[in-house]
Every structure is written in structure tokens, then in C-alpha cells.
Amino acid sequence: MNIGHQCCVFLSIFLYISECLGEDYDLDDSLGLGQTFDGIGGLSGGGATSRLLVNYAEPYRSQILDYLFKPKFGASFQILKVEIGGDAQSTDGTEPSHMHYENDENYFRGYEWWLMMEAKKRNPNITLIGLPWAFPGWVGNGENWPYRFPDITASYVLSWIIGAKKYHDLDINYVGIWNERSFNTKYIKVLRYTLDKSGLERVKIIASDNLWEPITSAVLADKELLDAIDVLGVHYPGTKNVPGALKTGKKLWSSEDYSTFNDNVGGGCWARILNQNYVNGKMTATISWNLVASYYDNLPFPRDGIMTANEPWSGNYIVESPVWITAHTTQFTEPGWKYLQTVGHFTHGGSYVALTDQRGNLTIITETMTHDHSICIRPPLRPYDVIVQNATFHLKGTFASISQLDVWHSKFDFKTNKTVLFQKLKPVKVINGSFSIELDVDEVYTFTTITNGQKGRYPDPPHSAPFPKSYRDDFDVPGNFSEAQNFADQTGVFECFTNLTDPGPHGLTLRQVVTQRPITWVADADQTISVIGDYEWRDLRVSCDVYMEDIQTGGVFVAARVDKGGGFVRSTKGIFFWVFADGTYKITNDLRGLTVFANGSSGTRARVWYTLTLTVKGNYASADLNGSSLWKNTVFLKPSRGWAAIGTSSFQLAQFDNFVIEAE
Ligand SMILES: *[C@@H]1O[C@H](CO)[C@@H](O)[C@H](O)[C@H]1NC(C)=O
Ligand SMILES: *[C@@H]1O[C@H](CO)[C@@H](O)[C@H](O)[C@H]1NC(C)=O
Ligand SMILES: *[C@@H]1O[C@H](CO)[C@@H](O)[C@H](O)[C@H]1NC(C)=O
Ligand SMILES: *[C@@H]1O[C@H](CO)[C@@H](O)[C@H](O)[C@H]1NC(C)=O
Ligand SMILES: *[C@@H]1O[C@H](CO)[C@@H](O)[C@H](O)[C@H]1NC(C)=O
Ligand SMILES: *[C@@H]1O[C@H](CO)[C@@H](O)[C@H](O)[C@H]1NC(C)=O
Ligand SMILES: *[C@@H]1O[C@H](CO)[C@@H](O)[C@H](O)[C@H]1NC(C)=O
Ligand SMILES: *[C@@H]1O[C@H](CO)[C@@H](O)[C@H](O)[C@H]1NC(C)=O
């Protein structure tokens, strides 16, 4: 079906014939320019969305990073936003804080430092942003709120910015307040003051990483707040702003957007919002949640990154369509370019933007995404129509002398699967300042004077494969990162630990280090838990050496068929085998311990190593302590599958060693 031609007939009868021949669109800088373009970005974190990326072997890891960051290669991101780890669950896991405790500082935890360095290595111009989702408990002094002592929170954030420079030579360009939570006017002013006092006037503040209101009204009503803030950053604006936003005179950014499964519909969503965030909302930067889907698929929001890299064990990764949609803008612009005022909607649906470096270069990006093929997960959009149409662009002002433009093309074809992504076509001749193009539905074009765009490509990565059925980690090879390979912390933080005073067989272990409930972003569990493996696992044996450090409240577990993570972690079910420092054990059906299959005495105590082994097969489970049977019985079927896990019964120090899985 070609609705375009049907419509053409329809229009020629009932409207006027020129509709069929096409519409005219002027691109002109003679009446001045629009806003300054600030870039297209990806967000790592909020939370733990890049968790599995660091575990990829070379050359795959560098290839993925090239697809994300290398200029003129793939997505060529212009902005990297990262979570300032706060030790708490922030969507797909926890990210470690640089200050677990008040007198503790360590700028080598987690992978965000590394990611920022890898991005910077590839694109020294990349804009860096940090934003907290959560904070260690001490920052709130027991309250689940970071603003009671604004100076403490500000100096905590300041230390992260200073540490980035001191230990990694990273200049953080922007910092945010508290992701998608309330802001506090006093705190924002104190943060500005704290940065300035430390000679960091160049670090700009984004507020409030939530909705347009109440931040817009607050900024308009308070001169000091207005001066403290540089960017109004909103999340999932649906391409719209509010009347007061432009009045603030601040940059308007969609500082978190997309959050959509990265198939071709996701690519369509991304194409539409990249253009229309400016056309409709005058937003000059758009940041994708998330950068790269490097977390287990059964965690919340699977594959909401612009590409997928969640199989470090196989090396497989997938360069998804949003990578190439990003390239349509990023490979032919730089932050600092100006949008033209002459941008807008096509008469028969879709939109166009145009940008210039003010030195004669021009980049035009068009998108004609149909509703069904560009649905973003949030927020839902009202249906709108796009049909095949002709467009004639008239280049005026500085651009009148352009005689030829490079052309890059993507087309999503949902009927034949003959989708083309970021294909270079023959340059278009500009005759007497004009060129015409027939725009089909679900297409993206770039027309540009920039001639060195490139569709980067590496040989196909290895085939996808499930997590190995037989897996062990003795935590004896200290990696470059604080976390152990493939473990995805869901509450608490598990770190590679060197036992300096007691080197011996347990000299190198994995240690849960969060000892106080953090200022949370979602409802973290009251226990800590880190998951690993294949969500489809049913029957397996999981074994781990455990060491409780806490004499009073010590309690640790190994688990199988663990069914949840992310913001649902409190209601996680599975088969949990616990031992406690008071000499007891428990077998429970859930993390909270509401359903107890069995309990009894184990003789376990703190500061002694034990080997816990849990075997689950069909409706049968058994628990061994140091190789001797402690308990065995039939168990309920539910959950019938899930990850393996380790963890503790509260926020307490505990160590783990010689983790082994044998799955069937
Ligand atoms: C960095 O920015 C400068 C100034 O705009 C530009 O000349 C240079 O090409 C940019 N480098 C990269 C790798 O984009
Ligand atoms: C466009 O940009 C390129 C480099 O990106 C530069 O060499 C050239 O002078 C610019 N101006 C025009 C009119 O192409
Ligand atoms: C676009 O213009 C071409 C050439 O004039 C014409 O053949 C074609 O039918 C037009 N397409 C539409 C959708 O009007
Ligand atoms: C197109 O691709 C999708 C996903 O691979 C597949 O499910 C569908 O059957 C394909 N359609 C056609 C017409 O080949
Ligand atoms: C370009 O414009 C000039 C003057 O308006 C006109 O004489 C000429 O025919 C035009 N050329 C084309 C190819 O349209
Ligand atoms: C650790 O870092 C070094 C230096 O950056 C690098 O050569 C090595 O490959 C890294 N090792 C791992 C396991 O990532
Ligand atoms: C097992 O649980 C029951 C019921 O809560 C309790 O009365 C008993 O003391 C527990 N036994 C041990 C050894 O903890
Ligand atoms: C369990 O084994 C460890 C050595 O792995 C030993 O230190 C500990 O005493 C044993 N505990 C019991 C109760 O046998």
C-alpha cells in the first residue's frame, strides 16, 4: 500500500494540486540564528547500566567503545553523563560511592571513571556530566533526604568532581542535583557557592533532572537561584516545554530521554525526539537513558540503551539502529553550532532541523517517523499522521552559494525488513539554492557540507551464548575495577578486597561494604544482594565460602532461582540458604525471610569461614555446611527459575570467596 499516492489523488480533488508536487522550506540565516546546540548524549548509570561492559575481553570492549564515542565512526556521542554512585539501587543495580563512610575516599571504585576516560580518549571534546541518584547514609545523617545539611551534600559532590580531576584528569563540565527527586533551593545555592569557592566556576549546574515544574517557576521567582543554575534539565519532556522555560534565558535540555527498547521502533522514537525536542521544545541537548544496555535482560527496562552489550562471557554485542540514528546528527555537528531559526514540521508530517558552524557549514536532518513506528515507551504520544511527500529546500543567506550536499539516509521498513541505516547516497546538487527530495515514511536524511562522515564497522563479534553453566570466581585476580566480574549488586556494594593483615587462603575476597542504609532512590532491600548468571537457570548447585564480620548481627546467604532486581528488589523471591552468627540457619523462599522453609541450629559464628552449598533440582533442595548436609527437603515450585546470588541479612560487612556454580 502506498498511502502517499492515494492521498495525492485525494488532495488533488479536494484541496489544491500543489500539495502533490511538494512543499517549500526556506533555510535562512539572514534574520539571525536560533539557539546554540549543546550535543547528543548517552547516560551511564541510574543505575549500573554499564555493569557488564567492563568485563568484555579485547578487542570487543574497545570496539563497543568506538561505536559509542569515536568521532566519525558510530554514535559519536558528544555528551557522556554518568551516575555519581551512591551505594544504593538506582534502577538496574547499585553503583559504589567514592565515600562509603564519612572519613573514606576512593576514586577508583566502579567503572564510571574508566568509562569517562575511554570516552575522553576517543573524543577529547566530549562534555562530561555527573548526577547523583542516591547518597551514602552518612550524608543524610540518618534521614532519607540529602538536604538537611546542604554543605555536607555539596562538599560530598565537590569531592567527586575534584577526585575526577586529581586521579583521572577528567574535567567535569556539569553537575546535577538529585535525579528525579525534589530539589532544594538552598542546596543549589550552596552547591554553586561551594564550587566557586573551590575555583570551579567552570563547572555548571543542571537543575533539576525532573519535570519542567516546579524548577522553572522557582528559577523565575528567585534571582540568586537563576544565577546559580546554567541549564534547565528535564526528563522525558515529550518534546514539549512550558511557557516560562524560555523566559529563564537558560539552556533547555532533555537531560534524560528515550528509555525505549532498542529495536527499530526504538530507533524511530530516537530519531523523532532528537529533531522535535528542538523543533517543539527548543531543547538543545538530548541524552539517552541509557548509553549501552550492559545489564542482565531480566532486570527492569531491558535493552533501553542505544546498543546492547550484555554478554561479556561470549563477546557478543549488537550495534542497534539508535547508534546510526545518533550518527545522523553527531557526525555532522559539534556542540557550539547554532540551530537555524528556520526549523519546523513538514506539512505532511515529520520534522527538519538545520544547524551551522557559522563558518559556512550547514547540516540538515529530516525525520518522517510514523506514529506506530516511533512509539517511545514514555510518555505515550497522541497519534499523528505522516505520509510520503516532496520537500523543496531553499538555501538562503550564507547558504545560498552551496552547490552540493552530502546525503546520508536511513529507512525503517517494517514490511519487508529491508531497513537501511546510515547509508551514504550520491551527493545532491543544489541548483539555484534549491534542492528537492521525496520523503517516504519512517526515513531519516542528513544533508550536509561536512564530507567526512563514516559508517564505522568491525567484523561481526562472536555469536551470542548463554552464561556458562559451570562458573567459578575465587576473586584472586584483582581486576582494574572494584567489582567482581558479572556480579550485579542490587542492594549493597560488593567489592574486591585484599585482606592485608591475614593473607592466607582468604587473602583476596569479595566484601559487602555498605554498613548503613543509604539515602535511597527506590526501595532498597533491608538485606544486601548481588545476582549473577542466567535467569533461565532452574536446577543448579551454588557454593560459596562465607565470612561474617559482625558478631552481633552477622548473617549471610547463597541463593538460587532469584527472580527480581532493580526497584523490585525488596520483593525478591528465590531459594535462600542463610547462616547467622548466632549459630542458626534458615532456608527461605524470599529475601525478606517472610516465608521460611526451615530453620535450626548450625553452630555458625562470626569471623570463621564456612562453605555454604545450595543444591536445587526440580522441587527438591538441599543445603550443606562445610560439605555436611544441614537440611534437605521438597520446596515450592515458585520461582521456577532465576539467577544465583549472594548477600547479607542487613547492611553489614561480610566476605565471600570461592564462588562456584554448576548449573544443569
Ligand atoms: C574538538 O573541538 C575543536 C574545536 O571545535 C575541533 O577543532 C576539533 O576537531 C574537535 N576534535 C574532535 C575530535 O572532535
Ligand atoms: C566546514 O567545516 C570544515 C571542517 O569541518 C572546514 O574545513 C570548512 O572550512 C568549513 N566551511 C565550509 C564552508 O565548508
Ligand atoms: C514528488 O515529485 C516527483 C517528481 O515531480 C513525483 O514524481 C512524485 O510523484 C512526487 N511525490 C509525491 C508524494 O508527491
Ligand atoms: C522482520 O524481522 C522480524 C524480526 O527479525 C521478524 O519477526 C519478522 O518476521 C520479519 N518480517 C518479514 C516480513 O520478514
Ligand atoms: C537559476 O536562476 C536563474 C535566474 O533566476 C535562471 O535564469 C535559471 O534558469 C535558473 N536555473 C535553473 C536550473 O533553474
Ligand atoms: C587493566 O588496565 C590496564 C591498563 O589500563 C590494561 O592494560 C588491562 O588490559 C586492564 N585489564 C583488564 C582486565 O581490564
Ligand atoms: C525456628 O523458628 C521457630 C519459629 O519462628 C522458632 O520458634 C525457633 O526458635 C527457631 N529455631 C531456631 C533454631 O532458630
Ligand atoms: C568450615 O571449614 C573451614 C575451612 O574452610 C574451617 O575454618 C571451619 O572451622 C569449618 N567449620 C566447621 C563448623 O566445620
Phi, then psi, of 590 in degrees rounded to 5: -150, 165
Active site residue: 180, 334, 549, 662, which one? 180
Residue 478: pLDDT over 80: no
Q: Which of 83, 112, 118, 256 is catalytic?
A: 256
**C-beta neighbour count of 387 within 10 angstroms:** 22
Nearest CA to ligand 7 atom 9: 600
What are the start and end residues of each CATH 2.60.120.560 domain in the chain? 470-663
3-state secondary structure 557-575: EEEEEECCCHHHHHHCEEE
Q: Is the peptide bond before 349 cis (omega within 30 degrees of 0)?
A: no
Yes or no: say if 93 and 147 are a contact pair by the CB < 8 Å rule.
no
**Rounded to the nearest whole angstrom, what is the distance from the C-alpha of residue 343 to the centroid of ligand 7?**
71
In the chain, which segments carry CATH 3.20.20.80? 35-329
Can you tell me whether residue 6 is helix, strand or coil?
helix
Active-site residue, 662 included = no
Cα 140 from Cα 173, distance rounded (Å): 26
**470-663 fold:** Jelly Rolls (2.60.120)
Residues 461-488, buried b or exposed e (16+ Cβ, 10 A)? beeeeebeeebebebeeeeebbbbbbbb
- At 6, is the pLDDT very low, low, confident or very high (cuts 50, 70, 90)? very low
Count of positions (residues) in the chain: 664
Residue having the nearest C-alpha atom to atom 3 of ligand 2: 450
Tell me what the mean pLDDT of segment 566-583 comes to.
98
Distance (angstroms) between ligand 2 centre and the Cα of 365 equals 18
DSSP-based three-state secondary structure for 27: strand
SS3 389: strand
Protein residue with least CA distance to atom 6, ligand 8: 609
Give the ligand 6 atom nearest the CA of 480.
1
628 lines ligand 6 (CB under 6 A): no
pLDDT at site 96 = 98
User: What is the Å distance from ligand 2's center to 449 Cα?
Assistant: 7
pLDDT tens column, 625-656: 999 999 999 877 789 999 999 999 999 999 99
DSSP 278: H
Most ligand 1 atoms within 8 A of CB, residue of 38, 80, 122, 125 to mutate: 125
Q: Residue 569 phi/psi, 5° resolution?
A: -60, -30
User: What digits encode the pLDDT tens for the residues 417-467?
Assistant: 899 999 999 999 999 999 999 999 999 999 999 999 999 999 999 999 999
| Model confidence pLDDT, tens digit, residues 205-239 | 999 999 999 999 999 999 999 999 999 999 999 99
Confidence of residue 502 (pLDDT cuts 50, 70, 90): confident
CA distance 406 to 412: 20
- Nearest residue (CA) to ligand 6, atom 10: 480
Q: Helix, strand, or coil here: 20?
A: helix
Collect all residues with Cβ–Cβ distance below 8 Å to 15 and sequence separation of at least 6: none
* Alpha-helical runs (H) found in 43-140: 60-69, 112-122, 137-140
Cα gap 172→462, rounded to integer Å: 35
- Per-residue pLDDT tens for 131-175? 999 999 999 998 999 999 999 999 999 999 999 999 999 999 999
Instruction: List the grid coordinates of 58.
Output: 579485547
pLDDT category of residue 528 using cuts at 50, 70 and 90: very high
Residue with cell string 554518568: 82
Q: How confident is the model at residue 188 (pLDDT cuts 50, 70, 90)?
A: very high
- The CB of 242 under 6 Å from ligand 3? The reply is no
The residue whose C-alpha atom lies closest to atom 13 belonging to ligand 5 is: 431
The residue behind cell 548481588 is 530
Tell me which ligand sits closest to the C-alpha of residue 479.
Answer: 6
Asked whether the beta carbons of 488 and 295 are under 8 A apart, the reply is yes
In the residue annotation, 320 being an active-site residue is answered as no
What's the CATH number of domain 35-329, 3.40.50.10330, 3.20.20.80, 3.30.1330.90, 1.10.150.120? 3.20.20.80
Contacts of 272 (CB under 8 A, 6+ apart): 239, 351, 367, 369, 374, 376
Share of the chain above pLDDT 70, in %: 95
